[in-house]
């Protein structure tokens, strides 16, 4: 499936048809046909295995790669290749957090990313939508 957030297409790939259906229902009005320039995001669903779902998110940059860790998911995004990977349990809330960070990181050339990463979620959404 492909979602369009803030003008950026994100192709979400998962092996779970049930989870994909949850995402389609969760993103009404944002699901659109894919395009060749969409970010490719692979979501690997795992049983809940992380210790603290309320932990603060840690985001770090290694060249063109952004690494994201929180108590309930782990993700990476390669801005140069416009692809990423998420390991999480089957919850659209976890994916929401990753999509916000990935979309912001993709705008790195035109937006001061480090400033955005520390804004409250509502302000980040207003900037990427």
Band of residue 20 on the pLDDT scale cut at 50, 70, 90? very high
Residue 78 has a pLDDT of 87
Residue 98: pLDDT above 70? yes
**Is the CB of residue 106 less than 8 Å from the CB of residue 5?**
no
**2: which strand partners?**
11
> With b meaning 16 or more CB within 10 Å and e meaning fewer, what string describes 20-52?
eebbeeebeebeeeeeeebbbbebeeeeeebee
**Is the CB of residue 1 less than 8 Å from the CB of residue 33?**
no
Query: What's this model's pTM, rounded to 2 decimal places?
Result: 0.73
Band of residue 129 on the pLDDT scale cut at 50, 70, 90? very low
């Amino acid at each position: 499936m492909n979602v369009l957030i803030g003008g950026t297409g994100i192709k979400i790939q998962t092996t779970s048809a049930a989870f994909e259906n949850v995402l389609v229902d969760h993103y009404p009005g944002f699901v659109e046909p894919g395009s060749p320039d969409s970010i490719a995001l692979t979501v690997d669903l795992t049983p809940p295995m992380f210790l603290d779902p309320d932990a603060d998110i840690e985001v770090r940059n290694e060249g063109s790669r952004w690494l994201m860790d929180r108590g309930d998911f782990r993700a990476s995004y390669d801005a140069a290749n416009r692809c990423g990977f998420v390991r999480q349990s089957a919850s659209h809330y976890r994916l929401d957090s990753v999509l916000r960070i990935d979309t912001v990181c993709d705008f790195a050339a035109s937006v001061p990313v480090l400033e955005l990463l520390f804004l409250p979620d509502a302000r980040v959404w207003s900037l990427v939508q």
